Amino acid sequence: MKISKSFKIYIHIILVLLISKSLLAADDFSKNIVIHEKPLIIKELKFKDVNLQDIDLADKKGKIMIINFWASWCLPCKREMPSLAKLAEKYPDVLVYAINMEKPNKLRAGDFFKSIGITSLDIYFDPDFKLVKVFKMRGLPTSILINKNGEEFGRVVGEIDFNSEEFIKLLNKYI
């Protein structure tokens, strides 16, 4: 069977387009980050710690916060979490809250952290999924970026490297 020359050319063109598109998408940091022109007011920000005790961030103003929503079944969450832990260690003034979006299970969440070598982050839960509604979340992982006034100045939708040069530059604007 003989393949025509024009068919070979079409195949090569399609391959080049697909490869170039995937390379450009991998370098486009901004596709996962939304920075609000005007920060959004957050009226209430409550969830539970690992022992299911109430946490209210209303009294944490004055600090930059990252609220990261994750689940143990979420592969992008698993890839992203080590960079978030490293960021928390490198910038102790930035408060990081890793909120598990599954039915509260201290053992399963702890096993997830152990499996990826996370020892520096605490585990939190949102058992009634109230924050999903507050932040109108559409998927995991999602990270909400909160300024020193307790307002949402941006969010990360999907997986990113929290230690990338671009994210550190963004964070330094608000610290």
User: To which residue do tokens 């608000």 refer?
Assistant: 174
* Residue-averaged pLDDT of the chain: 88
Cβ proximity of 76 and 158 under 8 Å: yes
For the record, the structure tokens of 172 come out as 């330094």
| Beta carbons of 39 and 165 less than 8 angstroms apart | no
Percent of the chain whose pLDDT exceeds 90:
77
Q: Distance between terminal CA atoms of the chain?
A: 65
Q: What's the pLDDT at 67? A: 98
Burial code (b: 16+ CB inside 10 Å, e: under 16) for 35-69 equals: eeeebeebeebebbeeeeeeeebeeeeeebbbbbb
pTM of the model: 0.82
Is it the case that residue 24 has pLDDT exceeding 50? no
Q: How confident is the model at residue 26 (pLDDT cuts 50, 70, 90)?
A: very low
pLDDT for residue 110:
96
- Of 6-15, 134-143, 148-157, least confident by mean pLDDT is 6-15
Query: What dihedral do alpha carbons 115, 90, 76, 26 form, nearest 10°?
Result: -140
Residue whose C-alpha is closest to residue 134's, from 38, 44, 72: 44
CA distance 154 to 144: 6
Q: How far apart are CA 119 and CA 142, in angstroms?
A: 21
Q: pLDDT tens digit string along 37-78? A: 999 999 889 999 999 999 999 878 899 999 999 999 999 999
